[in-house]
Amino acid sequence: MLLSVNTFVSLDGVMQGPGAPDEDRSGGFDRGGWLVPHASPHTNEVVEGWFRAADAFLFGRTSFGLLGGYWPKVTEPDDLIAGRLNTLPKYVVSSTLTDEEADWKPTTVLRGDPAEEVRRLKELPGRELQVHGSWKLVQALHRAGLVDVYRLLQFPVVVGTGKRLFPDGSTPATFAGADENSRVLPGGIVSLTLRPTNLGAIAAGAYTVDDGRSATVLA
Protein backbone atom coordinates (compact mmCIF):
# COMPACT_ATOMS: atom_id res chain seq x y z
CA MET A 1 0.00 0.00 0.00
CA LEU A 2 1.02 3.55 -0.64
CA LEU A 3 1.50 5.57 2.59
CA SER A 4 -0.12 9.00 2.55
CA VAL A 5 -0.13 11.78 5.13
CA ASN A 6 -3.35 13.80 4.99
CA THR A 7 -3.54 16.87 7.18
CA PHE A 8 -4.62 20.47 7.69
CA VAL A 9 -1.99 23.17 8.13
CA SER A 10 -1.94 26.90 8.71
CA LEU A 11 0.19 29.36 6.74
CA ASP A 12 2.92 28.91 9.34
CA GLY A 13 2.71 25.13 9.13
CA VAL A 14 0.79 24.46 12.36
CA MET A 15 -1.31 21.30 12.38
CA GLN A 16 -2.26 21.22 16.07
CA GLY A 17 -5.87 21.40 17.21
CA PRO A 18 -7.56 22.57 14.00
CA GLY A 19 -11.02 21.27 14.86
CA ALA A 20 -11.87 22.56 18.36
CA PRO A 21 -10.46 24.67 21.22
CA ASP A 22 -9.99 21.59 23.42
CA GLU A 23 -8.91 19.18 20.68
CA ASP A 24 -5.24 19.23 21.69
CA ARG A 25 -4.05 21.56 24.44
CA SER A 26 -0.70 19.81 24.90
CA GLY A 27 2.19 22.19 25.39
CA GLY A 28 -0.24 24.86 26.62
CA PHE A 29 -1.75 25.29 23.14
CA ASP A 30 -4.74 27.63 23.41
CA ARG A 31 -5.53 28.43 19.76
CA GLY A 32 -7.48 25.36 18.75
CA GLY A 33 -10.39 25.48 16.33
CA TRP A 34 -8.61 27.74 13.83
CA LEU A 35 -9.81 25.71 10.83
CA VAL A 36 -13.54 25.71 11.56
CA PRO A 37 -14.44 29.25 10.38
CA HIS A 38 -12.90 28.44 6.99
CA ALA A 39 -14.54 25.05 6.42
CA SER A 40 -16.88 24.85 3.43
CA PRO A 41 -18.41 22.41 0.95
CA HIS A 42 -15.23 22.91 -1.10
CA THR A 43 -12.94 21.73 1.70
CA ASN A 44 -15.33 18.90 2.53
CA GLU A 45 -15.15 17.72 -1.08
CA VAL A 46 -11.35 17.59 -0.93
CA VAL A 47 -11.30 15.70 2.35
CA GLU A 48 -13.88 13.19 1.16
CA GLY A 49 -11.66 12.62 -1.86
CA TRP A 50 -8.81 11.73 0.50
CA PHE A 51 -10.92 9.19 2.34
CA ARG A 52 -12.23 7.56 -0.82
CA ALA A 53 -8.67 6.40 -1.56
CA ALA A 54 -8.16 4.74 1.84
CA ASP A 55 -8.01 1.02 2.46
CA ALA A 56 -6.55 1.29 5.99
CA PHE A 57 -5.57 3.93 8.55
CA LEU A 58 -2.48 4.45 10.68
CA PHE A 59 -2.51 6.60 13.83
CA GLY A 60 -0.39 7.67 16.73
CA ARG A 61 -1.98 7.08 20.10
CA THR A 62 -3.17 10.66 20.68
CA SER A 63 -4.92 11.04 17.32
CA PHE A 64 -6.37 7.55 17.66
CA GLY A 65 -7.96 8.61 20.93
CA LEU A 66 -9.23 11.94 19.59
CA LEU A 67 -10.72 10.57 16.39
CA GLY A 68 -11.94 7.42 18.09
CA GLY A 69 -13.83 9.55 20.59
CA TYR A 70 -15.66 11.42 17.85
CA TRP A 71 -16.29 9.42 14.69
CA PRO A 72 -18.00 6.34 16.20
CA LYS A 73 -20.71 8.73 17.37
CA VAL A 74 -21.40 9.78 13.76
CA THR A 75 -23.97 7.24 12.64
CA GLU A 76 -25.41 9.03 9.61
CA PRO A 77 -25.25 6.31 6.92
CA ASP A 78 -24.36 8.79 4.16
CA ASP A 79 -21.35 10.22 6.00
CA LEU A 80 -18.45 8.98 3.88
CA ILE A 81 -15.71 9.83 6.38
CA ALA A 82 -17.43 8.11 9.29
CA GLY A 83 -18.19 5.10 7.14
CA ARG A 84 -14.54 4.69 6.19
CA LEU A 85 -13.09 5.31 9.63
CA ASN A 86 -15.57 3.12 11.46
CA THR A 87 -15.26 0.08 9.19
CA LEU A 88 -11.80 -0.08 7.60
CA PRO A 89 -8.76 -1.60 9.37
CA LYS A 90 -7.00 0.76 11.75
CA TYR A 91 -3.47 0.48 13.12
CA VAL A 92 -2.22 2.48 16.10
CA VAL A 93 1.43 2.84 17.07
CA SER A 94 1.75 2.57 20.86
CA SER A 95 3.86 0.75 23.42
CA THR A 96 1.33 1.28 26.22
CA LEU A 97 -2.16 1.02 24.68
CA THR A 98 -3.85 -2.28 25.53
CA ASP A 99 -6.02 -4.28 23.15
CA GLU A 100 -8.98 -3.60 25.44
CA GLU A 101 -8.40 0.16 25.23
CA ALA A 102 -8.15 -0.02 21.44
CA ASP A 103 -11.90 -0.59 21.19
CA TRP A 104 -12.51 1.35 17.96
CA LYS A 105 -12.83 -1.79 15.90
CA PRO A 106 -11.25 -3.13 13.80
CA THR A 107 -7.96 -1.95 15.34
CA THR A 108 -4.52 -3.53 15.67
CA VAL A 109 -1.98 -2.09 18.12
CA LEU A 110 1.57 -1.93 16.73
CA ARG A 111 4.03 -2.31 19.60
CA GLY A 112 7.25 -2.96 17.68
CA ASP A 113 9.63 -0.56 15.98
CA PRO A 114 7.33 1.91 14.18
CA ALA A 115 9.40 2.08 10.99
CA GLU A 116 9.60 -1.70 10.66
CA GLU A 117 5.92 -2.12 11.45
CA VAL A 118 4.97 0.43 8.79
CA ARG A 119 7.26 -1.14 6.19
CA ARG A 120 5.42 -4.41 6.79
CA LEU A 121 2.02 -2.75 6.45
CA LYS A 122 3.04 -1.09 3.18
CA GLU A 123 3.63 -4.54 1.71
CA LEU A 124 0.00 -5.52 2.26
CA PRO A 125 -2.40 -5.38 -0.69
CA GLY A 126 -4.52 -2.27 -1.09
CA ARG A 127 -4.44 1.28 -2.35
CA GLU A 128 -3.54 3.53 0.58
CA LEU A 129 -2.55 3.33 4.20
CA GLN A 130 -3.54 6.81 5.39
CA VAL A 131 -2.24 8.88 8.30
CA HIS A 132 -4.46 11.66 9.63
CA GLY A 133 -3.16 13.98 12.34
CA SER A 134 -0.64 11.97 14.39
CA TRP A 135 2.02 14.67 14.56
CA LYS A 136 4.75 12.70 16.33
CA LEU A 137 4.24 9.67 14.10
CA VAL A 138 4.42 11.80 10.95
CA GLN A 139 7.83 13.12 12.07
CA ALA A 140 9.13 9.57 12.46
CA LEU A 141 7.73 8.47 9.11
CA HIS A 142 9.28 11.49 7.38
CA ARG A 143 12.71 10.80 8.89
CA ALA A 144 12.49 7.17 7.79
CA GLY A 145 11.54 8.13 4.22
CA LEU A 146 8.33 6.11 4.38
CA VAL A 147 5.82 8.75 3.24
CA ASP A 148 4.84 8.42 -0.42
CA VAL A 149 2.35 11.29 -0.65
CA TYR A 150 1.48 14.37 1.39
CA ARG A 151 -2.01 15.83 0.95
CA LEU A 152 -2.40 19.19 2.60
CA LEU A 153 -5.16 21.73 3.00
CA GLN A 154 -3.43 24.98 3.89
CA PHE A 155 -5.68 27.59 5.48
CA PRO A 156 -5.15 31.38 5.36
CA VAL A 157 -4.39 31.61 9.08
CA VAL A 158 -1.19 32.32 11.00
CA VAL A 159 -1.62 30.45 14.29
CA GLY A 160 1.71 31.63 15.69
CA THR A 161 2.50 28.65 17.89
CA GLY A 162 1.88 24.90 18.07
CA LYS A 163 3.00 21.67 16.49
CA ARG A 164 4.18 22.23 12.93
CA LEU A 165 4.14 19.65 10.16
CA PHE A 166 7.87 20.21 9.59
CA PRO A 167 9.32 21.70 12.78
CA ASP A 168 12.85 23.06 13.17
CA GLY A 169 15.33 20.23 12.77
CA SER A 170 13.22 18.27 10.27
CA THR A 171 15.06 16.18 7.70
CA PRO A 172 15.44 18.39 4.61
CA ALA A 173 13.51 17.24 1.57
CA THR A 174 12.37 18.30 -1.89
CA PHE A 175 8.85 17.72 -3.18
CA ALA A 176 7.07 17.74 -6.53
CA GLY A 177 3.42 18.23 -7.39
CA ALA A 178 1.81 14.81 -7.61
CA ASP A 179 -1.24 15.48 -9.78
CA GLU A 180 -3.59 18.07 -11.16
CA ASN A 181 -5.64 18.19 -7.95
CA SER A 182 -3.42 20.86 -6.37
CA ARG A 183 -5.41 24.08 -6.59
CA VAL A 184 -6.62 27.16 -4.78
CA LEU A 185 -10.12 26.83 -3.32
CA PRO A 186 -12.53 29.70 -2.68
CA GLY A 187 -11.47 31.67 0.38
CA GLY A 188 -7.75 31.33 -0.29
CA ILE A 189 -7.41 27.75 0.95
CA VAL A 190 -4.76 25.79 -0.95
CA SER A 191 -5.12 22.08 -1.68
CA LEU A 192 -1.73 20.46 -2.27
CA THR A 193 -0.73 16.94 -3.25
CA LEU A 194 3.04 16.43 -3.04
CA ARG A 195 5.45 13.54 -3.47
CA PRO A 196 8.91 13.56 -1.88
CA THR A 197 11.58 13.47 -4.58
CA ASN A 198 14.74 13.85 -2.53
CA LEU A 199 15.08 13.16 1.19
CA GLY A 200 18.09 14.35 3.13
CA ALA A 201 19.18 17.20 0.86
CA ILE A 202 17.80 20.17 -1.03
CA ALA A 203 19.04 21.69 -4.26
CA ALA A 204 20.57 25.15 -4.07
CA GLY A 205 21.68 27.88 -6.41
CA ALA A 206 22.30 31.59 -6.70
CA TYR A 207 21.37 34.63 -8.74
CA THR A 208 24.27 36.33 -10.45
CA VAL A 209 24.96 38.98 -13.07
CA ASP A 210 26.59 37.78 -16.30
CA ASP A 211 27.48 40.39 -18.95
CA GLY A 212 24.91 42.74 -17.49
CA ARG A 213 22.14 40.12 -17.42
CA SER A 214 20.58 38.54 -14.40
CA ALA A 215 21.17 34.80 -14.46
CA THR A 216 20.72 31.76 -12.24
CA VAL A 217 23.45 29.29 -11.36
CA LEU A 218 22.59 25.93 -9.78
CA ALA A 219 25.02 24.54 -7.24
Mean pLDDT by 10 residues, the chain (219 residues): 98 97 96 97 97 97 95 97 98 95 96 96 97 96 97 98 97 88 92 95 92 91
SS3 175: strand
- 2-218 domain in CATH 3.30.9.40? no
Region label for 5, one of left (φ > 0), alpha (ψ between -120 and 50) or beta (otherwise): beta
Give Cα separations from 149 to 6, 56, 154 (angstroms).
Answer: 8, 15, 16
Residue 178, pLDDT score: 80
Beta strand pairing status for 2-10 and 149-155?
A: parallel
